[in-house]
Structure 1
Amino acid sequence: MTQRHDSTAEPPPGPDDPPAVPLEFAAFCELHRPRYLSYARVWLPDPDRAALVVQQAFAEIAVHWRALLGSSNPTAHAWQILRGTVGEHTRQTGLPTGRSGAQDRPGHAADDDLAILHYVVGLAAPEIADVIGTDTASVAGRLRRTMLHEASGW
């Protein structure tokens, strides 16, 4: 009897190997990492710190991944985790958040984020919708409204 050995096969994972990342989570990270990183760099000028914050956000998303997949809008929930992680780090470092008047108008901070993603990061409305988990028409309308409300302050 001849034993066949397939040299392309990978050895089974050992007891100390980290568990495999679900394929859909890896794809999600690959898709969103560049945009999340661009957003984080607006608030955290140190590129290494911004990358660390995005990595922490993805770690938090990974913890909740199964629950997020079961939600009505996983992308929107993941975006909120990123926003929260970035906001926490800006407060910890004492950096200005640019959101001092966010309480004055409902959704103000979220609308500011849309403006940042559009005017600073350079994303078009469909790309922003993909990143934050909403529809393009909503993003376009909110961008117009933000531009009208903030024209004198931006």
Structure 2
Amino acid sequence: MTDRHISATGPAPADCQVELADMPVEFTAFCEMNRPRYLSYARVWFREPGEAAEVVRCALHALARVWPQVLGSPNAPAAAWEVLRETVAERHSLTDPAGRRPGQADEDLAILHYVVGLATPEIADVVGGDTAGIATRLRHGLRPTD
């Protein structure tokens, strides 16, 4: 089991100010690799592209504040994904308190696969899971309930 609950110590501040230019090269590479996928996920929850981009920016700033803990965790991609999910859920609840709420792991997998268009190995890279487990969860999600 992985530690998927590294908190960014509360929500990112409204201005999301952390100097990302001073972050280690590993963080920069992580952001470059994951920002497009994170943005595609956020666009599902925020109709305005600018709003989705701002949420991802805030999530990456929140991630920067806990980067050493993320790297020290048993599963850094899973810990980073949790920071993104927390940021998306919090910001979405502020803009649409009566609407859909992000937060179900299997729903996230379905969104990443069927809406964003990621293959299971890419989803595994983003959420910190194993490809076979994600494929199984996606297959089970398609089964009708009795």
Pairwise same-fold verdict (TM > 0.5): yes
Partner of 2:87: 85
- Structure 2: distance between partners of 1:22 and 1:28: 10
Flag the structure with larger Rg: 1
> C-alpha displacement at 1:97, in angstroms?
2.0
Q: Provide, for residues 22-72 of structure 1, a one-character-per-residue CA deviation record: whole Å limited to 9, x for no partner.
A: 000000000000000000000001100100000000001100001111110
Coordinate RMSD, CA, aligned: 1.6
Residue 114 in structure 1 maps to residue 109 in structure 2:
yes
TM-score, normalisation: structure 2: 0.81
What is the deviation of 1:149?
4.7
- Equivalent residues in 2 for 1:37-116, closer than 5 Å: 37-94=39-96, 96-97=99-100, 109-116=104-111
Measured after TM superposition, the shift of residue 94 of structure 1 is 1.2
What letter matches 1:43 in structure 2? W
Gaps of 5+ in 1: 1-17, 103-108
Q: Which amino acid aligns with 2:64?
A: A
Amino acid at match of 1:141: T
Alpha-carbon shift at residue 110 of structure 1 (Å): 0.4
Structure 1 residues 93, 149: closer, same or farther in 2, change over 3 A? farther
- After superposition, what is the alpha-carbon deviation per residue over 1:65-124, rounded to whole angstroms, capped at 9, x for unaligned? 01111110011010011011111111100162256xx8xxxxxx1001100000000000
Q: Relative contact order (alpha carbons < 8 A, sep ≥ 6): 1 or 2 greater?
A: 2
Amino acid at match of 2:57: Q
Give the TM-score normalised by structure 1.
0.77
SS at the partner of 1:56?
A: helix
**Equivalent residues in 2 for 1:24-43 (5 A)?**
24-43=26-45
Number of equivalenced pairs: 125
